[in-house]
A = this chain, B = another copy of it.
């Protein structure tokens, strides 16, 4: 059995952090005899520069064939003035939609070793462990019609469409209910059902699904209240499920509650468990090329990949244990540095994880 991993470093700090995760994957491959083989490809700004498109056909083909993808990050100021269809983000969105990676899992976990990094009071966030399940291939991100049109009055109007079908809602709902079953058995569905019709349907389908998962306690919350409750008392949540746009906002807010977004991985899965794995943070062009970025979110994304797409739980746990060990050793990249700790570079952090494996 040979399984292929596609590495897509992308832009900014992407290549630096993916390089460290790749070393970790190579070592774990040997240690656990996983039979992984590795390919690489271009996406985002790197692909625009090389091939004049953020998602070259070759990359899409490799991605389709791969068992899993490890992505660094895309985007940077040099591509910001390009028309929407040619921007780095379209590479990412194109991969999500072409591979139907509809289920985005974003854990927001506070590492006890990094508790002081949070901007929230320790008692509010200590032990925080939330899983956000975000729908990733529908909603307003992909809704048609969209664009800018000229009205009869002569002025322009920009417009987008926020739409979900029953089946789109049901399949992400199932992923969320199942995640809740394996965790604290509490699921909070976030919508704006007092204003938006599309989320009235969302709520109805979530209520329907409840019958299939009688062991899970389902609640509903409006998105504005959810944004508040995440700040007020985030530990009230176990699993949150929501649409693409609300999920984009709430998962970033939740990630930041931990104060160490450089630590947070994410997974985007389709119904065959093929997946794309990437850190929650962006391409950080301001620190790119300096060798100071934190590779741990990417390394932990590799662990998620082993767990969800390759069914190698032991190997995943080995990586997570190694990361925990280097944190215990007091090693910190600049973004999570605190007094008394030892500041290390991207490469030193990667080497330390290798050594801890």
Residues of chain A touching chain B, judged by Cβ–Cβ distance below 8 Å, are 75, 84, 87, 89, 93, 119-121, 124, 140-141, 143, 146-148, 151, 155-167, 192, 194-202, 223-225, 227-233, 245-246, 248-253, 255-257, 259, 261
Contacts and interface: CB of A to CB of B under 8 A. Distances in A.
Contacts of A202: 158
**6 nearest A-B residue pairs (beta carbon):** A158-B198, A158-B201, A159-B163, A227-B253, A228-B256, A224-B252
A43 to B, nearest CB: 15
A86 to B, nearest CB: 12
B119 A231 contact: yes
Contacts of A228: 252-253, 255-256, 261
The secondary structure that dominates the A interface is helix
Given A93-B195, A224-B252, A227-B252, A164 B155 contact: no
Given A148-B200, A158-B196, 20 more contacts: A84-B194, A84-B197, A89-B195, A119-B233, A141-B195, A143-B159, A146-B197, A147-B197, A148-B197, A151-B165, A155-B165, A157-B165, A158-B197, A159-B163, A159-B198, A160-B198, A223-B249, A228-B256, A231-B253, A231-B256
A167 B192 CA distance: 26
A84 B200 contact: yes
A134 to B, nearest CB: 11
10 contacts: A119-B124, A120-B121, A155-B167, A157-B166, A160-B197, A224-B248, A225-B252, A227-B250, A230-B253, A231-B253
Contacts of A225: 252
A242 to B, nearest CB: 11
A100 to B, nearest CB: 17
A298 B168 CA distance: 42
Contacts of A157: 163-166, 201
A159 B161 contact: yes
B196 A140 contact: yes
A49 to B, nearest CB: 18
Contacts of A195: 89, 93, 141
Contacts of A249: 223-224, 227, 246, 249
A309 B1 CA distance: 73
Given A195-B89, A224-B252, A256-B232, A162 B163 contact: no
Contacts of A162: 140, 159-162
Nearest to A157: B165
A156 B202 CA distance: 11
A160 B119 contact: no
A87 B196 CA distance: 13
A48 to B, nearest CB: 14
A31 B78 CA distance: 60
Contact of A163 (B141, B158, B233): B158
Nearest to A122: B121
Contacts of A256: 227-229, 231-232
